[in-house]
Amino acid sequence: MAQKLRIAVTGLAATYPFGGVFWDYVQYPLGLARLGHEVLYIEDTGQWCYDPGQQTFVEGGAQNAALLARSFAQLAPELTGRWFYRDAAGQCFGATWEQVGDYCRRADLFLHLSATCWMREEYFGARRVVFIDSDPMYTQASVPAYVDGTSDAQARARLEVIRRHQAFFSFGENIGRQDCRVPGELFAWQPTRQPVVLDRFAGHLVPVERRRRVFTTVASWEPAQDGPLVRGVQYRGKSVEFERFLDLPRHSQVPLELAMSGRAPKERLREHGWVMVDPGTVSGDAVSYRDYLAHSLGEWSVAKNAYVAGHTGWFSCRTACYLALGVPAVVQDTGFSRFLPTGEGLIAFGTLEEAAAGLAAVAAEPRKHAQAARALAQEYFDSDKVLGRLIEAALG
């Protein structure tokens, strides 16, 4: 590393204290610290946080802050004392607000992930403020109305905050190409993908013969809010895509297991042969979530309709973690097959027949696909490579 940088990174790991969310966001500051940079993790959403015990949202975040502190101590000790969380009531945990303001004023980079942060003026004090879009089509949905002057005040204000950033990156690697339906106005999106800190997964690889002979995934049936309406097209979450593959268990010799949250039609899914498990049990914390993925023969999953129909090139953070654990993935193509090699370790599908063939291929040669999965993670998702490129482009 040529220069040690001071970097702030936002996230949602306390607001939504689930295993998948932890790995989605914390691998950014963890990977940056691994590269030798000085890092501060900031969680300042203005939102109520989810209390798993009460299974509802609450205003006070003391318990969530304590959980975040314990998770850092166990899984990311490099970040101990390097975090700040403000709950919806305005109470601050970890670093003080004065320390955060001073840090950001002297920061080289402020990485705003997934519109997670209430962007106060102090955050814009960093030398370079960067927006990272992990939700293509959702993030850009209000752009056409903004451009033609018909957007409502809330949508306009949200986009104007994003426009104050100085560089823009997206998991939608296909944005800007002719076959991508994501609005391309206003922002010069550059491609990026989920960084995976491989050494947090390397010690947890499970030999193929000790894995459960089942394909799994952890997912949500449909977001609580309506999907994006873009240029007259109504996009949805996973439910629309999942319906296309409802009969897949009848075409697979290996059981298909879902840890599905949201208002999924669980009885109807069981009738079609899907195995349903409690998502809270398998993703209640970062360790349980990692273990659940690691003990799977493979992953099978669809993507949100907005990602698929928009041909965004989006790739799942969850699937990247499966690959890092040497667990092959059979997942619905969003256009990512243009950028990532498929066929071994990672199999993309568009039809039920292709999905069934992918499951059969992994089941027939699980060791070959497991080795290929880990190699894919090392080549395409290694945090050293992903974050190194991100920093270079952000400061360029």
Domain with residue 140: its CATH number is 3.40.50
* Rounded Cα gap, residues 50 and 219, in angstroms: 17
Q: What is the pLDDT of residues 151-189, one digit of tens each?
A: 999 999 999 999 999 999 999 999 999 999 999 999 999
Is 34 inside a domain boundary?
A: yes
Domain with residue 245: its CATH number is 3.40.50.2000
Q: What is the pLDDT of residues 231-247, one digit of tens each?
A: 999 999 999 999 999 99
Domain that holds residue 310: 199-380
Is 83 inside a domain boundary?
A: yes
- Sites in the chain below the pLDDT cut of 50: 1
Is 161 inside a domain boundary?
A: yes
Angle made by CA atoms 151, 156, 157, in degrees to the nearest 5: 155
Say whether both 314 and 365 belong to one domain.
Answer: yes
Say whether both 218 and 180 belong to one domain.
Answer: no
Say whether both 148 and 259 belong to one domain.
Answer: no
Say whether both 52 and 96 belong to one domain.
Answer: yes
pLDDT at 2: 63
Say whether both 343 and 390 belong to one domain.
Answer: no
pLDDT at 250: 97
Is 244 inside a domain boundary?
A: yes
Say whether both 56 and 141 belong to one domain.
Answer: yes
Is 134 inside a domain boundary?
A: yes
Per the structure, the count of domains in the chain is 2
pLDDT at 53: 86
pLDDT at 226: 77
Say whether both 258 and 148 belong to one domain.
Answer: no
pLDDT at 61: 96
Say whether both 26 and 162 belong to one domain.
Answer: yes
Cα–Cα distances (Å) from 318 to 28, 92, 158, 363, 391, in that order, read 14, 30, 27, 21, 23
Say whether both 290 and 183 belong to one domain.
Answer: no
Say whether both 284 and 313 belong to one domain.
Answer: yes
Say whether both 337 and 260 belong to one domain.
Answer: yes
Is 1 inside a domain boundary?
A: no
pTM higher than 0.75 for the full model? yes
